[in-house]
Structure 1
């Protein structure tokens, strides 16, 4: 579904954030992208979603293809219309708007009123609290509820590929577990997911495959179980036979 080849990204005139990254996302899977702060995870999602220019970034080399369409260089709105939709780090909901208004904003790209209605039903089934809080200002929601709203808003456009940037950031453990369950359900409903996370435990439990970025390069890639061994051995210094559980990246 999504193919990234030899991607090099720079911010400004001198800071190169990605150095020849290759990535494949199947149409029926969940891919976790792991790494420490500054590894290039968010930059990768920005390159895929077409939002690099909003952060003074640019693609120096390489290509991004979604299906048969080359998307690097396309406007973000065009990429959304192709079916690739992102949830940015920090949620970035419209705090002064109501929950219902946020969801309607997400549905602008839907092809028809029927599609918007179906998407709304899907979101309310995934997150019943959003139906209960429809008339409440989004800024008054808890952190976990705001993350639900951010994901729900993205789902309103009916994405085929959902890009999630640190959805567990700042959330309590029970809410992190709920977000993980929701990602599984979204995938089961037919939406592929790229999950950028520092919470390696949650990400590897949810994902089929994973890649580890290290200073803008791919340090490892493969099935989640294999990547768990790599993370323990190379980053936490724990042999596979002694490991207990994964923690957040330091």
Structure 2
């Protein structure tokens, strides 16, 4: 099993894209206040700074983001629509926690959708040339893992699968895979210990190598093994107190 060092800083030279940047091509300067709050909470969840089950109170969020309660409620409502947050009557908003059935369903859809993505990629005549940026991403993922940059490693590991779909120029497919990758990240955060095991960069490279050779059977088998290994690595989550506001590096 791979082990990640304890250093958690984000290295700029690794160019690890925030998960929210993969969701939309819209520039940060043109974001609304609701989108700003949505993106920051979404990124904190995807970076595993906000863990599944964490309660998100409106009063504290208003203070964190210096915004109105109306803005916070709209952002939380959108996050709930996207299955990142669950809003419970008379209790408030919580980061989504997967059930065992939801975990199975998420990984089943990942296998189906990523298998279809590979089939579409393999139909491209210039595939090896198109894969060059993904090889570079895997190299950055490796360096992030080796230097213990946990957040960059998580971001690059998730981005690999979204960027693979983006190569096809199919926005609907990209959005669907981005949504599934986000839910997968929450599943892994709930069941797994991210400092101890990796969505392996060398498995990503193995998939790319097989795609480059147009070896359809081997590429799909490698992807299936990769996702199956992630699913089987799930353990019972460790419960403990969580201070959600540390995710935004501010005091309450």
Which TM-score bucket, shorter chain as reference? 0.3 to 0.5
Greater strand fraction, Structure 1 or Structure 2: 1
**What TM-score comes out, normalization by structure 2 length?**
0.33
**1 or 2 for the larger relative contact order (CA 8 Å, sep ≥6)?**
2
